[in-house]
Amino acid sequence: FAPRHLLSIADLTPAEFSALLSNASSHKAAIKSGVTPAALVGKLSGQTIALMFSKRSTRTRVSTEAAVTSMGGHPMFLGSGDIQLGVNESLYDTSVVISSMVSAMVARVNAHAEVADLAKHSSVPVINALSADFHPLQTIADFVTIQETFGKEKVQGLKVAWVGDANNVLFDLAIGCLKMGVDIAVAAPAGYTIPAAMKQLILASAPEGSTAKLTETNVPEEAIKDSNILVTDTWISMGQEEESAKRLKAFAGYQITEELAKRGGAKDGWRFMHCLPRHSEEVDDEVFYGKRSLVFPEAENRLWAAISALEGFVVNKGKIV
């Protein structure tokens, strides 16, 4: 019996993606009102979930640890100094051994092939906690936040403008947008745009008959036009530190500010999102800490996203309803 893994939002049908969002929201409401749903109580009791992180993390580590604990399980954090993920031992060996002892692996890796290899050889579900290509737990939290902010019924037809680096966080967000009927316009400088193969994958993830669009430009104002939500991420992802000077130069003019949003013609009442960690290059303090910003509810929603994903992929073994 092959376990089902969550490596990207592309692994989910639109109905499954919606179910993960609904479950995250309803568990959030119940637990915040003081009642832990029976669907979660003790569901990971006596079970260990390996959290294997090759890179640093605040939100993903804390949210997944807390999520496992909330279901009575034991989160076993394994940092890059603790285990041999891709160092001195093949991923095959690591995957076979760890999966023989735990109920699931949550892995933050460098190349996407690393988490894909772990999944290929694992006897238990693997959840991608960020790879070079995807960040599904972030996208679940982002859509919970979008639904809370705009109303679930009003999500279809919204427009997201991504202004910045075409990276892992964008790729899953774009897949999520197309699955949910949300237009996404991406502004990135030449040389930092969506790779052709990734673009194909994003476009292929739109359900049949979907009218949601992915558009690309090198001009931030063009992407921002008529958008409801402006989103960005760091210009220098983990592992790209040596390119810092070159990247800061390439992204000049891409900082999200009130002025840029106004010049671009964002919709009245536009909101701002960022997965964090944030640096001031990509968004100024006025927007980041201002009334349009959703960044802190978005970060909190990582917990509810992690609970929902663990419930779907580990407790319910990939049956997402």
Catalytic option among 275, 287, 309, 315: 275
63 binds ligand NVA (CB under 6 A): no
Cβ–Cβ < 8 Å for 94, 84 = yes
Cβ–Cβ < 8 Å for 185, 159 = yes
Task: Report the C-alpha gap between 311 and 305 in whole angstroms.
Answer: 10
275 binds ligand CP (CB under 6 A): yes
Q: Of these partners, ligand CP, ligand NVA, none, which one is at the site of residue 167 (CB under 5 to 8 Å by kind)?
A: ligand NVA
Q: Of these partners, ligand NVA, ligand CP, none, which one is at the site of residue 58 (CB under 5 to 8 Å by kind)?
A: ligand CP
238 binds ligand NVA (CB under 6 A): yes
Q: Of these partners, ligand CP, ligand NVA, none, which one is at the site of residue 301 (CB under 5 to 8 Å by kind)?
A: none
Given candidates 60, 70, 94, 131, which one binds ligand CP under the rule CB under 6 A?
Answer: 60
Residue 150 beta carbon to ligand NVA: minimum distance, rounded to whole angstroms? 23
Angle 154-320-106 (CA atoms, 0-180°, nearest 5)? 105
Task: Report the C-alpha gap between 310 and 303 in whole angstroms.
Answer: 11
Given candidates 57, 64, 95, 205, which one binds ligand CP under the rule CB under 6 A?
Answer: 57
275 binds ligand NVA (CB under 6 A): yes
Task: Report the C-alpha gap between 138 and 120 in whole angstroms.
Answer: 23
62 binds ligand NVA (CB under 6 A): no
Task: Report the C-alpha gap between 211 and 282 in whole angstroms.
Answer: 30
169 binds ligand NVA (CB under 6 A): yes
231 binds ligand CP (CB under 6 A): no
Of 97-156, binders to ligand NVA (CB under 6 A) are 130
Helices (H), the chain: 14-32, 59-70, 91-99, 112-121, 136-150, 168-180, 196-204, 220-224, 244-250, 258-264, 285-288, 295-310
Task: Report the C-alpha gap between 261 and 255 in whole angstroms.
Answer: 10
58 binds ligand CP (CB under 6 A): yes
Report the residue number, 50 or 206, with the smaller CB distance to ligand CP: 50
Q: How far apart are the first and last CA of the chain?
A: 20
Helix (H, G, I), strand (E, B) or coil at 185: strand
Among 8-16, 82-90, 248-256, 275-283, which window interacts with ligand CP (CB under 6 A)? Answer: 275-283
52 binds ligand CP (CB under 6 A): no
Report the residue number, 99 or 168, with the smaller CB distance to ligand NVA: 168
Task: Report the C-alpha gap between 156 and 147 in whole angstroms.
Answer: 10
From residue 112, how far is each of 48, 166, 215, 302 by CA, in Å?
Answer: 24, 15, 24, 21
From residue 261, how far is each of 73, 163, 294 by CA, in Å?
Answer: 45, 11, 16
The footprint of ligand CP on this chain (CB under 6 A) covers a number of residues equal to: 9
54 binds ligand NVA (CB under 6 A): no
Report the residue number, 225 or 278, with the smaller CB distance to ligand CP: 278
Residue 59 beta carbon to ligand NVA: minimum distance, rounded to whole angstroms? 7
Whether 177 is a known active-site residue: answer no
Of 111-140, binders to ligand CP (CB under 6 A) are 130, 138
Task: Report the C-alpha gap between 258 and 241 in whole angstroms.
Answer: 28
Q: Which residues bind ligand CP (CB under 6 A)?
A: 57-60, 130, 138, 275-277
Active site residues: 275
Q: Which residues bind ligand NVA (CB under 6 A)?
A: 130, 167-169, 233-234, 237-238, 275
